[in-house]
Structure formats: C-alpha cells, structure tokens
Amino acid sequence: MQLLDRGMLKFDYQFPLYNFFFPTQALNVYQPGRNQFAEMMVTANKSARSRALYFHIPFCESICSFCPFTRGLYKRAEDIDRYTQALIGEIEYKAQVMDLKAVPVRAIFFGGGTPSLLSPRNIYDIGEALHRHFDMRDVQEFSFEFNVTSVTEDRIRALAAIGITHARFGLQTTDREWRHLFNLDPDIGKIERAAELLRGHFGHVLCDILYGMNGSHEQQTLADIDKAVEMGVSNVDIYPINNAATSVKLHKQIKARFADVMPAMRKLT
C-alpha cells in the first residue's frame, strides 16, 4: 500500500483496507495453562476498582456492507444455542481460576453481529451466569444491541428480566439509496415500530447514525437526527463511516454512483 504525502493533511483521503476484524481472528491462538492463565488474570486485575464486560454475538440475518466486525449469516438456531453454551462455559472457566466477584461490574455491553438473534432461553441462561459469577450490584449501564427486525416482546421481556438498562438499535440513515447500499431493510416503519416497542420497556433507548459517506451530505445527517428525535430515543450515537474497513462491494457501488469524495477534514468539521 502506498501512502501519499500531502503535507499537513497526510491522510485526507480514504483507501480500502480489508483485514480489520474485531474480535481478532487467528488460527494459532495463544493458550496458556490453567495456572498461568490464573496468574495473568489476577495480575491484570490487581489494581482494578471496577470492571466492564463485552460479549460479542457474531450472528446476523443479513450482512451490512459498512460493518467491519466479526459476523456471519444466521443459519440455524442450534448454532446460536451452541455459541451461547460456549460463552457461558468461558465465564465458568474464568470463575474457576479467579474470583470474578472481587471487582464490581459497572458496565456490560452486548454487541455483534446481532445480539437480538439470541432466543429468550439464550438470554435467560446468559443472564443467570452473569448474576451468579459477577458482582452486579453497581452496574450503571447494561446495553444490548438490536436489529429492528428481531425486536420482539418475548426477547424484550427476557432482557428486562436479566437487568438490561439500555436498548440500542441502528437507524444509520433514512435515505433509501444509502439503505440499499448498506444492505439495510428499506422499511422505515419497522424502525419506528421497534423504537416504540423498546421505549415501552426501557428507560434508555439509543440509536446509531452513520455519516461521512462519499457522495452524501450534511443535510442528510441532519434529517437522520431529526428522525431519531421524532422517534423519541433518549440518546443518539453519531459516527463516521470507516472507509478503510467497509466491504469491497460497497466501495465499488459508491464509486459507480458518486463522484463527490468526503474528505477527512470535511468529515471532521
């Protein structure tokens, strides 16, 4: 890859990069022994006064073209059940080698992928493991990401039962062409209905808005913010598209449709 020197604005341009994954994917993962792992965990947490937990659910109903994270198309409920048991097994293994309750948990985040593809049974089982193995008395934020197409009453009841405080969903944009490019459901009505359902059960309902796409403009971002306010969400997270980590297909589609490039400084402004 050749990086061009343009004076002060060395990186005032975008280029594709196709090896960005989170969580990290690797074949030869370091696997310490039980005693070594216990020593590492105790050392790492010796001075910690609080803890934050992140759980990654890598299953999706469809693949968003802007998403750089580890994910795959949902195939069978059995796969999610097996993943859930593996996740709980990892919690239980760590609970055997260290006292997970020694440091109180302040924040928990379920991301993906699409965490809302977890069944109510999956949700109850994970919640039971969390409350059994961690000190949850001082949790200030317990966030869970939804895809609007998988917002259901039974999932919401399960999440409320395990202590979810913040429900998050992706609005991204209301522009129909960009929703098509992002491989998002074009029906804005589904987003409105999902937001209404979530607001009826959670005190904090948050949505994500994406901006800074080549060929887009600030007026669209303002229109998306207006829509979020209209839906009554309590918080809005607005973030720029990461052109260095989006899909090759999206790069080609944008190049074929738009000549206008969104420079990094305009995006920052």
CA distance 84 to 57: 9
Tell me whether residue 174 is in a domain.
yes
Residues 269 and 267: their CA atoms lie apart, in Å, by 5
Position 103 in a domain: yes
Interacting residues of 90 by C-beta distance below 8 A, sequence separation 6+: none
Q: Quote the pLDDT of residue 191.
A: 96
Q: Tell me, what CATH number does 254's domain have? A: 3.20.20.70
H/E stretch holding 72: strand 72-73
Q: Do the domain assignments include residue 177? A: yes
Q: Which structural domain, as residue segments, surrounds residue 166?
A: 48-268
- pLDDT at position 27, please? 63
Per-residue pLDDT at 19 = 46
Residue 198 falls inside a structural domain: yes
Token digits for 120? 């109510």
Q: Count structural domains, the chain.
A: 1
Examine residue 16 and state whether it is found in any structural domain, yes or no.
no
Which tokens sit at 175? 């522009």
Establish if 5 belongs to a structural domain: no
> What residue ranges of the chain have pLDDT lower than 50?
1, 3, 14-20
Question: 178-210 as b/e, with b when 16 or more CB fall inside 10 Å?
Answer: bbebbbbeeeeeebeebbebbbeebebbbbebb
Q: What per-residue confidence (pLDDT) applies to 33?
A: 84
Is residue 262 one of the residues assigned to a domain?
yes
Residues 6+ apart with CB under 8 A from 98: 38, 41, 42, 45
> What are the tens digits of pLDDT across the range 17-74?
444 455 555 666 677 888 888 888 888 778 888 999 999 999 999 889 988 788 888 8
Whether 187 is in a domain gets the answer yes
